[in-house]
Amino acid sequence: MKIQRWLRSTAVAAGLCLAVGLGNLPARAAEAGPAAGKRLIVGFSQIGAESAWRTAETESIRSEAVKRGVRLRFTDAQQKQENQIKAIRTFIAQKVSAIILAPVVETGWEPVLKEAKAAQIPVILVDRGVSVSDDSLYVTLIASDFVAEGRMAAEWLAKKLNGKGSIVELQGTVGSAPAIDRKKGFEQGLAAAPGLKITRSESGDFTRAGGKQVMEAFLKAAKGEGAKIEAVYAHNDDMALGAIQAIQEAGLKPGSDIIVVSIDAVKAAFEAMVAGTLNCTVECSPLLGPAAFDAVEKAVAGTPLPKQTIVEDRLFDQTTARDAIGSRKY
């Protein structure tokens, strides 16, 4: 009888130690897959989930990591740079193979990028650039040409308005590369049409709610001054869709009383163009996963990469939206 009791108590004690032991293993070793030594571990610092475009970009990166058997450590910064910097420091401490960064704003990255370089961890920038004195702090930037996007939007609008009219502008996140460059490109495009004027310009932070709120204020101010708004230029579709709602709530017809032009070409923008409330959107592809992981694999292998890879963009309007909507991938 005593033997059985001893055996039982020993077995229980052994079981407990085993459980405690496993519980104490560092997260990485506990998660490590069968061929842990061989699998790439990549840290991805994503800005947030502020727009449909951003969600599509996250999906593209996540699904490509799965496809390539890469272990992805994903962080959402809720649009705060300090959270991205913290995430990068964590990735460095975890000794990841590479870091993918979508930088929320252009400045303030030198210190943490220097730490990544010192740790010999390659940093691949996707979708937005950074302003640094030493561009060896990142391996490559994979993004659209935002100045070209702004210029395309302006040239289309100049034709639509026959070169004359007042425009209000919904800017993206203050200090972000797309907001800075889409404004620059749009102003370059307007230079050819002196009859077109940007009468008001505020940031809606790339969100639908932000676009609606700013457009409501613009409409109220214009009404108070007895001024007309002929068009709204939004730095992304989500803000344009918010502005469309504000225009409708003000009893006006978006797409005809007020022309609406934006950038991104997400699915909801095509639906709005087919419905006649949005007039034009310039594509800015978020499907950056394949190019990002090609760059990661090359960087890890030490293969030289171009400093920038420009993603080609096209313009869509109500004459092309219906035919294109069925084949859109985001």
Q: Rule CB under 6 A: which residues touch ligand GZL?
A: 50-51, 53-54, 127-128, 143-144, 178, 206, 236, 238, 263-264, 284
Compute the least distance from the CB of residue 173 to ligand GZL, in Å: 7
Strand partners, 315: 282
Nearer to ligand GZL, 250 or 260 (CB): 260
Q: Among 288, 312, 287, 297, which residue's Cα sits nearest to residue 139?
A: 297
For ligand GZL, the closer CB: 274 or 330: 330
CA distance linking residue 89 with residue 35, whole number of Å: 25
Our CB check for ligand GZL shows the closer of 105 and 258 to be 105
| Closer by beta carbon to ligand GZL, 200 or else 235 | 235
Distance in Å, CB of 128 to ligand GZL, minimum: 5
Give first-to-last CA distance, the chain, whole Å. 69
* Residues forming beta bridges with residue 167, ordered by sequence position: 198, 231
**Closest separation in Å from C-beta 48 to ligand GZL:** 8
Residue 53 Cβ vs ligand GZL, minimum distance, rounded to whole Å: 3
Least spacing, CB of residue 15 vs ligand GZL, in Å: 51
* Three-state secondary-structure class, residue 171: strand
Of 230 and 264, the one with the shorter C-beta distance to ligand GZL is 264
For the bound state, the minimum distance from the C-beta of residue 137 to ligand GZL, rounded and expressed in Å, comes to 20
Q: Is 200 in a helix, a strand, or coil?
A: strand
Q: Which two tokens stand for residue 82?
A: 């300090």
Q: Which is nearer to ligand GZL, 128 or 212 (CB)?
A: 128
Least Å distance between CB 158 and ligand GZL?
22
Residue with Cβ nearer ligand GZL (158 or 282): 282
What three-state secondary structure class fits 185? helix
Q: Which residue is nearest to ligand GZL (CB)?
A: 53
Packing angle, helices 177-190 and 146-160, rounded to 10: 40
- Least distance (Å) from ligand GZL to the CB of residue 205? 9
Find the angle CA(283)-CA(203)-CA(162) to the nearest 5 degrees: 55
Query: Could you tell me whether strands 308-311 and 165-171 are parallel, antiparallel, or unpaired per DSSP bridges?
Result: unpaired
Nearer to ligand GZL, 95 or 314 (CB): 314
Vertex 74, ends 68 and 76: CA angle to 5°? 145
When the beta carbons of 64 and 238 are compared against ligand GZL, the nearer one is 238
Residue with tokens 């490590």: 32
Sheet with 140-144: list strands edge to edge.
71-76, 41-46, 98-101, 123-126, 140-144, 308-311
CB proximity list for 141: less than 8 A, separation 6 or greater: 125, 126, 129, 307, 308, 309
- Identify whether the C-beta of residue 255 lies closer than 8 Å to the C-beta of residue 278: yes
Q: In whole angstroms, how close is the CB of 149 to ligand GZL at the nearest point?
A: 9
Positive or negative, the CA dihedral 263, 293, 174, 177 is negative
